[in-house]
Structures are given as C-alpha cells and as structure tokens.
Structure 1
Amino acid sequence: MGLNGSLTDWKRHTKYFGHQHASRYTCLVFDNRGVGRSDKPLSFYSTSEMAQDAVDLVASLGWIDLAAPAERSIHVIGASMGGMIAQEVGVLIPDRLASLTLCCTAPRLVRTGPFLETVHQRASMFIPRHIDVDLQRIAKDLFADGFLDQPDTEYGDPTKNFPTRRDRFAAGVLKKRADTDRYTVKGFLMQVVACYFHTKSPAQLKALGDNVGRERITICHGTNDLMLTFRHGEILHEEIGEGVTWKVFEGSGHMLSWEREHEVNQMIEEAVGKWS
C-alpha cells in the first residue's frame, strides 16, 4: 500500500479476491514498516529495504522458497509508494513473480509543473492546518473533481452509508489520526524519505522488464492524478518498454482502488488469470 496507508486500505480488493472469490484466490496484505501494526523504527527507510521486508514476509509464510529453484508463483500488486516497493520486489526476485501490477506510481519523482507550484505542493504535506482545510487539501490531491461529492454507496444497506463519499473519506482520515499508536508522525516522515529517494533509472527499468517479463507487467494510472501526476506513469511505461499492459484511467485521480474499484479488480483478475 501507499504512503501512510495500512493493510485495510486494500479492503475493496480483498473483499473481491479474498472473500467473494476465496475458492480461487488467496490474498496477503500487510502494513509496511512505519505504519499500522508493523514496527516504526527511527532510521533511514528505503523502498529497497521495504521490498526486502515483503520478500522476507512472503518467504516466512512459505509462499516462496528462496532455497529452491525459482518458480513463478506469486502475483505482486503495488499502489503509489507500494508501487515503488513492488518495483524493488521485482528487482529482488524477478523470477518468482507470475505477474507484477503497478498502480498510480513512479520510477522516480520528476517535476511535471512549474517549480514553485511543485515545491508548494510537496511542502504543504507538512504545514499544520485546521482539520477542515487539511481534509480539503488531501481530498484534492487524491481524488478527481466531483468523485467525493457523489452519494456514498459502500454498502447495499443504505442505513450503513454516509451521506456522501466525502463524509466517508473524512471519517476515515479522522479515525486514522485518532489512532496515535498505529499512525505516527515519525513513521510517516520515514516513509516520505523512502518515496523521495526512490529512483529507478531507464537502464534499471529495462532490466526489470527483461527479468520479470514485460508481458507479465501491468501499469495503470489516472490522467487527473495530482499526487503522482500522469507523466510519472508514462515514464514508467516508456522506460520498462513495449510489451507491458498499459491501462489509462481517463479522468481519474490517485485513488484508483476506490474511484475505479471494479475496473481495477477486473484488470488484476485478467493478469492473474493469464499468468497463473
């Protein structure tokens, strides 16, 4: 999962794969270091170290055997910062991956707008504000215009829904901020460091494509993503090379897992079905 996101943020996908279709799929979700129920050491975090965390976890559960001959047995999906980590997983164990899906992520951070505008956007993450103002800023960065203003339809039972998706989003943020054990400023800042120093060169991305197999890689991005602009996804696609599946979500923002839930599930299911 992405920056300061926990395993529960995969719920729209684990509901589909791990519950509704549990006879066909087994899902593993986890908290990255720095958030949720995982440790939050005060140290330099890197996406490569966080990828090693993931590989160690999968190996400890017996999903892969690093001492045995390589077998393509796992499907890896990463979103945003998680997509950066997933790239590093592909570097560490390319011949263990049956497929690799990279959602709304980047090979490295590039400036795609005016310099001062870019600086202001990045710095605004750390400026204390009234909660209403901060919620508005976060929503603007994460979602396409108009999405959160629509009625909340999370549950079939209307009595369980909020008036709008914006109300559901705000409640989630407030609940997270109230849990000061699982969500800490220290852990958040260490994850930010990992994002800012994540760098994959064109040569490294070409090698990723060569070693994982471009036909096994899916890249998707929303055209209205303000957190990691659409250009980041284009660079990832261009530098891994022709042969990957490139899915463009027109008019969507950074939170494809919510905005385009069913289409993302279908996209993942197609990749998993093709390479299982």
Structure 2
Amino acid sequence: MQGFESAFPTVAEVVTNPAFPTALWHFEPHQSGLLPVAADRGGPIDICWEVHGDGPIKLVLICGLGFPKWSWQRQTLHFGHDHGDKYSVLIMDNRGSGHSSKPFMRYSTSEMARDVLEVIDHLGWTEARQLHAVGISMGGMIAQELAMLVPERLASLNLLNTAARIENTTSFAEDMSRRITMLMPKSFERTVTFAASKIFAQAWLDEPDECHIPDVHTTPRVRPPKQPAPHDPVLGNGNLETGDPPCPDNYGRFRTNYERFAAQEIHKSRDAEGYTKKGLVAAGFHWKSPKQLKELADRVGRERILVVHGVEDDMIPVPHGRKLIEYLEPAEGHIVEGMGHAPVVEKTEWIHGVLEQRIAVGEKLSGRG
C-alpha cells in the first residue's frame, strides 16, 4: 500500500491546483427543500432533497454510505440539466448524511427506503410505473427495500455495485484484516488514498481527468455554500474575510482522475454537516434472501431490472453482484472488467447509455414509449 500512496500527489498539492475550487458542481435545482419524514417512525427526521430538470421521466438517484447528494453530480448534469426537458432527477442526502438529520437511534435500509418514499410522495410522483430508481452500493440496498415497498410504482430498478447481504468472500483471516484496516484511525492523507484504493480500479486513478465538465454559460449554478475556514495548513484557510467560496468563472480540469477524487474528498471534509457511521450498521445488517429477491423480481418484473458490478470492486466484492444476477435474473446484468465500485464515475458515459436504454425499456413497458 505504501507504493500505492506514494504514486499520487499529496493533499497539499491537490489544494493548490487551480481547478480545486471547482471540484464540486453547484447546480441550481428546479425544486429543493428540507422535508420532515418518519413522524411515526421515531422522527421527525429532515431529509434534504433537490430535483433537477422538469421533464416527464422521473429518475430517483439513491446515494451510498457516506456519499452526499452531490456525489451524483455527473448524472445530475447529464439527466437533469443537459437533458432536463426529458428528465426530472431527484437526489437527496440519506438520513445521517450531508444536510439531512443525523438521528441518534440505529436505523435500517428499510427505514431509509421509507424516507425516500415520503420524499417521492411529497413531490406527487405517485402514479403506477412512474419511477426509475437507481441505487449504488448501500443506495442499491435502499433501492431493493423501495422495490419491496412499492413494486407497482417502479418503471425500472437499476442496482449498481450492491448486494443482497454483505458476505465474507475471502478467507476469515483476509476478511478480518480488511475490516480492521477499514475501521482503523487514519490521517486525512491516508484516508483519501485508502478510499481511492478501495473504490476505484488503480488503472483508472492514473488516467487523465477527461470527464464532461459543465459549461458555466449554459448550466444554471448557485454560489457554493459557506464553509468554516479550516485552520489545518494542509487543507488551507478558505476565504478568511467573508467565508464565502468564489463562484468560479469556469470549471477546471485536474491532471488525473485521482486528483479530482481527492479534491472532492477534501471539500467533503470541509463540510461541517458531514455524516454519521450509523449507515454502516444499516448496510451491514441489510439482508434479502433468495426467496425475497425472487418475489421482488416477480413483482417489479425482471424485464425492468438492471444489475451492474465491477470486477475490481474492493468495497463490495464482485461475488455479491454475481449472486444478485443469479437470484434476480434481471433483463440485463453486467459484470465489468477493469471497473471498481463506482461506475457512475469510472465509466460515466457508458453507464449513462445503459441507464438511458433501461429507462426507455421501462417507459415502453409502462405504455409511454
């Protein structure tokens, strides 16, 4: 791992990159709010949500563990702004993450799915076969629970790098070593490189940053939210006079994919809202039996289901994806060589194409194609 870490620029070097202030894309949503949910489930719990685009096709993007809603920024740009006349894209911070409430009690993926459903109902997206749900990692577990709750309202179900349950896919010693390493306290520098090694394929991290970046002249944006000025000399001191980050004249490009990821992690660390680790318990205790998955597929319709998993996923290893494909028998299942845990970032254009095709199928099956 030491060689892996030394191959990348330091956090201090990433902060000095001219593109650093533009790593997060602050798009102006068409709708947004803070909705109290779970009134009869231990709440109220405020869920921070945004809708981008005002098109007729309703797309629900569900975050994974520790990922705020801006983690979908590439998809928000593509579906909600570049094609916002066709799609309405809902993104939200899960309970325990970002700008949503962080309840003290333990909670589950099924409770988190009910949170999502309350936001969807609040928006009035209540028609039969209207929703196209996309969940990644723990978000895919939440999407499974959503499908169990309202199968008749799903036009398509798209599960990315997720699992029916987290299982040990290696030897006991390897599994324990992996878990201990993940939970051990780390310096911020080590945290970033470790996360990169677990989430992404190493070859991708070394590649040039060639993502499709927004055009400031055509994509509405808002000023980045205020952040407390950090005192850490590595992370910088922000704008000490006003606390207001600048609204960039254009979006910059980084030298490598790793640098863009590291910059986003630094911005996330500056967000005082942060996230709790109770979601780790929710993901760890998520469990759907083969019988439940068969029932889910029967009720949603296998022709409406997509499963994608990366062979180099070191967060939720690929046997989990293979099992989901075996049990769900989806219309489309992809086990992708050379891809890690984040297809929405590592293979953005490809996954957009796959999702567009699956959405088109779902719309046609629902009588709207």
Please classify the TM superposition score into its range, dividing by the shorter chain length: over 0.9
Is the counterpart of residue 173 in structure 1 residue 265 in structure 2? yes
Residue in structure 1 matching 2:134, options 70, 74, 77: 77
Which has more helix, going by share of residues?
Answer: 1
Matched-pair identity in %: 40
Structure 1: 4+ residue segments shifted above 3 A: 154-159
SS at 2:175 equivalent: helix
What's 1:68 paired with? none
What's 1:146 paired with? 203
Structure 1 residue 248 displacement after superposition: 2.1
Query: After superposition, where does 1:181-220 map in structure 2 within 5 Å?
Result: 182-184=273-275, 187=276, 189-220=277-308
One-letter amino acid of the counterpart of residue 82, structure 2: Q
Structure 1 residue 156 displacement after superposition: 7.9
Query: After superposition, where does 1:123-272 map in structure 2 within 5 Å?
Result: 123-154=180-211, 155=213, 160-180=252-272, 182-184=273-275, 187=276, 189-241=277-329, 243-272=330-359
Give CA-to-partner distance per residue, 1:46-91, whole Å, 9 cap, x none. Answer: 00000000011100110116xxxxx111110000000000000000
Is the counterpart of residue 16 in structure 1 residue 104 in structure 2? no
Give CA-to-partner distance per residue, 1:226-275, whole Å, 9 cap, x none. Answer: 1101100011111113x531122211000111110011111110011111
What's 2:174 paired with? 117
| Consecutive unaligned residues in structure 1, runs of 5 or more | 66-70
Give CA-to-partner distance per residue, 1:119-174, whole Å, 9 cap, x none. Answer: 22222222112222222211110000221112222338998112222111111111
SS at 1:28 equivalent: strand
Flag the structure with larger Rg. Answer: 2
SS at 1:18 equivalent: helix
| Consecutive unaligned residues in structure 2, runs of 5 or more | 1-62, 216-249, 364-369
Structure 1 residue 104 displacement after superposition: 0.4
Higher RCO (C-alpha 8 Å, min separation 6): 1
Shift in CA distance, 129/103, structure 1 to aligned 2, threshold 3 Å = same
SS at 2:335 equivalent: strand
Aligned residues: 266
Deviates more, 1:170-179 or 1:221-230: 170-179
Structure 1 CA distance, aligned partners of 2:186 and 2:120? 39
Residue in structure 1 matching 2:150, options 77, 90, 93: 93
SS at 1:109 equivalent: coil
Give CA-to-partner distance per residue, 1:185-227, whole Å, 9 cap, x none. Answer: xx2x210000000000011000000110011000001111111
**Are the aligned partners of 1:237 and 1:244 in contact in 2 as well (CA < 8 Å)?**
no
Structure 2 CA distance, aligned partners of 1:160 and 1:19? 19
SS at 2:71 equivalent: helix
